[in-house]
A and B are shown apart, each in its own frame.
Chain A
């Protein structure tokens, strides 16, 4: 992750550029009715937050695999840590993505 303090925010909810990119991926992969820049970075993606379900998890895993070559796994504590929020999902992708 780059230093967030020097990166200018470009969305109403304060998304970093990488987060906005992942937000765009989520919205397009799942055909959500929400604008990417409106996703709250710390809000839960599943259930209460964006309201995603296990089908979305499969779709999202596919999209992330294609875009970043990052493979999601259940032993990554899927619904708890990585999918906890847009921010945590982006951090996971940044950490594991193919360079």
Chain B
């Protein structure tokens, strides 16, 4: 789309519901009035760090900043160190928060806003304007910024709505419950952008523990969508209580084990979908994991060699290697940096992890390359595996059928859980600790 084209903040009707709060549903009309009220309290210019945990307040803050032309910095880390770093990099940085926070930066508390009238039609925003900035941690520890033009976010939301049946013409409106924070790109796309652009309302409250998630789903109206991660899914499945009827479960941030995808399909009787995305490019593709090995790109997404063409963003480098698959789909070959070479043979750690996840009884697992892999010809991979009730020997036997012998892990260490972070990812630091622990005293 041309960058000078204006796209509305929301294309939804004033009486439609954008968010379910404990006090009741909030309509688009009221939301726009309250966002206009909050916008009046913002500084004249600057960048907004929106720390709100309540999704409705996150939405209000994002819209209010948009109305004033301020980009929102997608950061959930309230540590003074991180906030000062953002303030140093972005002129006029101020905070939007719904809980008390000790800070020297300008702070605009977001609470119960009194709606103001006179907004009329939803405002229109130039497609090329950067309205949000996402951050990736980066291997050096210095976060990398990824600017998001409004047109790219809207295009991604419309493509997701088409993919998941969330367009107005697809049926009654849906409601989404997410276990991921709205400041993370995955949570931002699914619980901030989708309620603005698709026939869907988000659940406002925090849902973290299995009980929270199950109770919150009970309270939501039907056509419920659960947006979550493998980590939360594992806890939810272990809880044993069947959730309220769902239209779909969506997982992202880390590869979903085949056993979990099958358990959700079987025990909950609901499609278990997976999104392939990255903070740099946003969501790019999806698949129904238990039935589809390959990923179907969103409308407008074009997978290339080492990069992806994203509407509104252009060409974005990809950390993953892909290859075309039948039906316009693609196969994920793994992270480029994850390619390992042993005994003259090449493999991707991500692919090895996928094969490991397919072994019966394996709930979670990861292959780890030793630090000296490039220089030690005798180097071996190790693997850390969560597989209650299975022995290392049994898993190794299963792996032997799937892998080149050179890639068999030495050792294969059974562990009760992997040190995944709050988004289900294994950081380099956590992997290094695993390696150290395996090396022994």
Contact = CB atoms under 8 A, between A and B. Distances in A.
A75 B205 CA distance: 9
B119 interface: no
Given A53-B422, A55-B231, A31 B209 contact: no
A65 interface: yes
Contacts of B1: none
B206 interface: yes
Nearest to A76: B209
Nearest to A33: B437
B238 A62 contact: yes
B239 A62 contact: yes
The interface residues of chain B, by DSSP majority, are classed as: loop
Interface string B176-214: 000000000000000000000000000001111111100
B235 to A, nearest CB: 5
B210 A53 contact: no
B238 A54 contact: no
Given A31-B415, A53-B422, A71-B211, A58 B206 contact: no
Interface residues of A, number: 17
Contact of A55 (B207, B239, B415, B420): B420
A25 interface: no
A89 B348 CA distance: 43
A34 to B, nearest CB: 15
B232 interface: yes
A57 interface: yes
Interface residues of B, number: 21
Nearest to B416: A31
Contacts of A55: 231, 417, 419-422
Given A31-B417, A58-B232, A74 B422 contact: no
A54 B424 CA distance: 10
B215 interface: yes
A58 B209 CA distance: 6
Interface in B404-419: 415-417, 419
Contacts of A42: none
B206 A74 contact: yes
A71 B209 contact: yes
Given A54-B208, A73-B211, A61 B416 contact: no
Contact of B210 (A31, A62, A75, A78): A62
A74 B208 contact: yes
A30 B422 CA distance: 15
A53 B421 contact: yes
Interface string A65-90: 10000011111001000000000000
A65 B421 CA distance: 22
A59 interface: yes
B422 A54 contact: yes
A62 B209 CA distance: 9
A73 B212 contact: yes
Q: Max chain A CB contacts within 10 Å: which of B208, B215, B239, B422?
A: B208
A75 B239 contact: no
A62 B417 CA distance: 13
Interface in B232-248: 232, 235, 238-239
Contacts of B238: 62
Given A55-B231, A73-B212, A75-B212, 4 more contacts: A53-B421, A55-B420, A71-B209, A73-B209
16 contacts: A53-B422, A54-B422, A55-B231, A55-B420, A58-B208, A58-B209, A58-B232, A59-B235, A59-B417, A61-B235, A62-B210, A62-B239, A71-B209, A74-B208, A75-B205, A78-B208
